[in-house]
Structure 1
Amino acid sequence: MSEEPKNVRHPDLRDGHYDIVGSIATNVADGFTMVAVGDLIVTRALTKRRDPDFAALVAILRDADVTFGNMETSIIDIRSFKGSPQAEYGGAYHISLPELGPDLREMGFNIVARANNHSLDWGVEGMRETSQALDQNGIVHAGVGENLAQASASRFLETARGRVALVSTASTFTPLSRACDAAGEAPGRPGLNSLRLARSIVVPSEMLDSLRRVRNALPGFWHGCDNSGPVVLAGTTYKAGDKPGYSYQADSGDVTGILRNVRQGKQFADFCIITNHGHEPGNWSQEPADYEQAFAHRLIDAGADAYVGHGPHQLRGIEIYKGRPILYSLGNFIMDDLRTPIGADMFAAQGKDPSRDTDAEVTAAEMGGGYESDPGFSDPVFYESVVTISRFEQNHLAELRLIPIELGHGNRLANRGVPRLASAHRAKVILERLQMLSQPFGTQIVIENEVGIIKLPPDSSR
């Protein structure tokens, strides 16, 4: 019998759905389900609660092949911890008790993202202890490591219906938390897998002319520079446009590395999730940053089966691209932010005195007003989200279900932030908002019995 020629295209695979080293098509058993939620800002074990609505959510999480969330806290025992709160932190010191590790597993989480602006709130020591806690409980995690190669690498979860790869990156991060590789005799640096963005402020052309005149009048200005393009003033780039706002350019080297790791992740797995933590252009925005759609499309083209965004603490739209889900932001799943202890820097930032004020009072001040340039977390929109359930049949996304949840915005601090199934009225409000946010992407969400449903035809990946 003659030997099959090498690198021959198999007739059952359409053009563009595989390369020499393997298929980039989805390759899971029928009925494969991915549950994806947003931020896990959680300080304590929650499964001991006698709350039927929370228990109903846990049942959904446990029933999936892969259950994903963004791990936005450090799991450390402060009594034996050798590190310290960092001077540069992600806006608040997120800290969790050691019992959170087994509790996340009990909830059903088996894979989590680690790259975000809170990855190193408690330094490299906190990053390492959190990794150890997740490892001990069999929860796969990606996005941080001892160098960039480790932080950016795919991590793998074995399931009954296929092997799942996860690549985790962050476009919002503290500068000193960015991992790097060794260079010559200089060792690599522990940290997170970053996606650096260059931000420009878009203004009307007449305003740009005014900014150019201000720049030209400043001492030290070099008059030989370009007077027709963007204006750099006090380290900020301004450019002309029809609509004032913010524009972002992703670092080409970072994008190349992320695409490579997605491609490699898919080569070694049946299903690949790429996740990005980004607050851009701000927590106030219900629209993704202007770079993100093209970025997500490139990742899907490289082999990702799902793009999961989180960061702005509220929902953003959903797009289906080549039959694969792009979830631009899933908001918060848990925001049980009873953070204690917190660093002295945060007391100072909120105008509090650690000898007089409590950790809870500092937390309440931070949650109620002022986060970067945002109005704070007093708006109920930050306490509403969805649990997404993606079901695949014949290696195609057949259905995406959206289960509305609310996190108890009106509750006292000790009980706020724990998810439960939304009431019928709130479910309708949440899903109608998500319908509106998804319309620009051509996504049709049908509401049936307080559940959002996106159904796809079998050939939707073409």
Structure 2
Amino acid sequence: MRHRIGFAGDVMLGRLVDEAQRRRPATAVWGDVLDRLRGLDGLFVNLECCLSTRGRPWRRTRRAFHFRADPDWAVPALAGAGVDCCALANNHVLDYEEEALRDTLDTLDEGGIARAGAGRTREEAFEPAAVTVNDLDVAFVSFTDNTSEYAAAEGSPGTAYVEIDADDEGTRTAVRGALARAAERDPDLLVASLHWGPNMVEEPPESFRAFAHWLIDEGADLIHGHSAHVFQGVEAYRGRPILYDAGDFVDDYAVDGRLRNDRSFLFVASVTDSGDLRELRLHPTEIYDYSVHEAGPDAAGWSRTRMRELSAAFGTSFERDGDALVLPLGG
């Protein structure tokens, strides 16, 4: 049996998305992608906001943007799309201070949605999530190099913050510890989710490529990258897919006419019962009306062409199946 596990980039449900959602059904944020999402066996996303109506905007250091969504609709929306787990290690989960972060943790827990990458303590922030997809056991760890002031400490809430440097002793210790705790559960699939690097960058630096390879050498099976707001290329390393950046999935951001941060993909990995990865399928998407949609012909064509160009640098070539790109994997 094969399991279809989806991965999406940034899901930002605050600001104008939050306002629009108050006037429409909870699942409207997923547009006409909803049926595709519900058809998956598992779904993992980066939640690029806090879920709360409380807290005050972070002012301890300069922050240009603050993202917060009302959990009364946001949790039903996540659950309605079948989201199994949220990465929380990012630069927005503390936008409304610790009160809203605690609400986010509690709200996801109460909604039965797993989470990793942030917590009430540093230990909790680095704790892996465990998700069962049909009879497939998935372990999920989440790290970020964004916004060091949001890092969790022994006695304060925050994110699983690391330097993206496999030679850094602190990084090796923290990441290996999280991977070891994940491996103790003997998962069929181990996913490392990384909110790394600056915005609007089309290619990962060599240091990110080295770090992704190191993570796979240390036991990760799939790298789920995000943060740039634009998708980057895909690499298969030792038969394991590296999504250097999954781009934006839902948001209210201004669109760059050249970089097209409103266009990306839903990435779907096909996994056997024993955890062997067989293929990665990329379904083009685009954002408008504060929701995600199946990409139209022009947008889909642009995204496929751009993904091929970006991935060629890693020796990656795709097959085509309808609107989707397909990367066969060795298993």
Tell me the TM-score normalised to structure 2 length. 0.90
8 A Cα contact 2:318 2:326, kept in partner: yes
Change (3 A) 1:103 1:257: same
* Structure 2 SS opposite 1:435: helix
Q: How far did residue 54 of structure 1 move?
A: 4.7
Which residue of structure 2 lines up, in the alignment, with residue 325 of structure 1? 241
Change (3 A) 1:397 1:270: closer
The gaps in structure 2 that reach 5 residues or longer are none
The gaps in structure 1 that reach 5 residues or longer are 1-29, 182-187, 198-247, 338-366, 369-376, 409-414
Which residue of structure 2 lines up, in the alignment, with residue 441 of structure 1? 314
Q: How far did residue 176 of structure 1 move?
A: 2.1
**Amino acid in structure 1 at the alignment position of 2:100:** G
**Amino acid in structure 1 at the alignment position of 2:240:** R
Change (3 A) 1:249 1:162: closer
Q: How far did residue 250 of structure 1 move?
A: 6.3
Change (3 A) 1:147 1:450: same
**Structure of greater Rg:** 1
Which residue of structure 2 lines up, in the alignment, with residue 177 of structure 1? 150
Q: How far did residue 55 of structure 1 move?
A: 4.9
Q: How far did residue 89 of structure 1 move?
A: 5.8
Match 1:152 to one of 109, 112, 126: 126
Q: How far did residue 249 of structure 1 move?
A: 7.6
CA distance in 1: counterparts of 2:216 and 2:205, whole angstroms = 18
* Structure 1 SS opposite 2:194: strand
**What whole-Å deviation, never above 9, does each CA across 1:323-371 have from its counterpart, x for those lacking one?**
211100011000146xxxxxxxxxxxxxxxxxxxxxxxxxxxxx47xxx
> Is 2:285 the partner of 1:405?
yes
* Structure 2 SS opposite 1:453: strand
Which residue of structure 1 lines up, in the alignment, with residue 45 of structure 2? 69
> Is 2:87 the partner of 1:120?
no
> Is 2:250 the partner of 1:274?
no
CA distance in 2: counterparts of 1:89 and 1:74, whole angstroms = 18
> Is 2:174 the partner of 1:257?
yes
**What whole-Å deviation, never above 9, does each CA across 1:282-319 have from its counterpart, x for those lacking one?**
32321112211111111112221211000010010101
CA distance in 2: counterparts of 1:420 and 1:273, whole angstroms = 26
* Structure 2 SS opposite 1:407: strand
8 A Cα contact 1:195 1:250, kept in partner: no
8 A Cα contact 1:89 1:118, kept in partner: no
CA distance in 1: counterparts of 2:246 and 2:47, whole angstroms = 13
* Structure 2 SS opposite 1:291: helix
Name whichever of 114-123 and 260-269 sits farther off: 260-269
> Is 2:267 the partner of 1:385?
no
Alignment of 1:180-219 (within 5 A): 180-181=153-154, 188-196=155-163
CA distance in 2: counterparts of 1:50 and 1:147, whole angstroms = 32
8 A Cα contact 2:281 2:326, kept in partner: yes
Which residue of structure 2 lines up, in the alignment, with residue 92 of structure 1? 65
8 A Cα contact 1:284 1:312, kept in partner: yes
8 A Cα contact 1:431 1:447, kept in partner: no
Match 1:297 to one of 213, 221, 225: 213
* Structure 1 SS opposite 2:264: strand
* Structure 2 SS opposite 1:419: strand
Tell me the TM-score normalised to structure 1 length. 0.65
CA distance in 1: counterparts of 2:318 and 2:32, whole angstroms = 23
8 A Cα contact 1:140 1:156, kept in partner: yes
**What whole-Å deviation, never above 9, does each CA across 1:111-166 have from its counterpart, x for those lacking one?**
01001011211111110011111111111011111221110111111232212111
> Is 2:64 the partner of 1:58?
no
> Is 2:293 the partner of 1:420?
yes
CA distance in 2: counterparts of 1:286 and 1:148, whole angstroms = 31
Percent identity reads: 28
8 A Cα contact 2:270 2:277, kept in partner: yes
* Structure 2 SS opposite 1:131: helix
Match 1:108 to one of 82, 90, 103: 82
Number of residue-to-residue matches in the alignment: 321
CA distance in 1: counterparts of 2:312 and 2:30, whole angstroms = 30
**Amino acid in structure 2 at the alignment position of 1:35:** G
Alignment of 1:235-250 (within 5 A): none
Q: How far did residue 90 of structure 1 move?
A: 4.9
Name whichever of 398-407 and 36-45 sits farther off: 36-45
Change (3 A) 1:39 1:424: same
Q: How far did residue 179 of structure 1 move?
A: 1.1
* Structure 2 SS opposite 1:325: strand
Which residue of structure 2 lines up, in the alignment, with residue 33 of structure 1? 4
8 A Cα contact 2:27 2:80, kept in partner: no
CA distance in 1: counterparts of 2:213 and 2:77, whole angstroms = 35
Q: How far did residue 38 of structure 1 move?
A: 0.2
Q: How far did residue 321 of structure 1 move?
A: 1.3
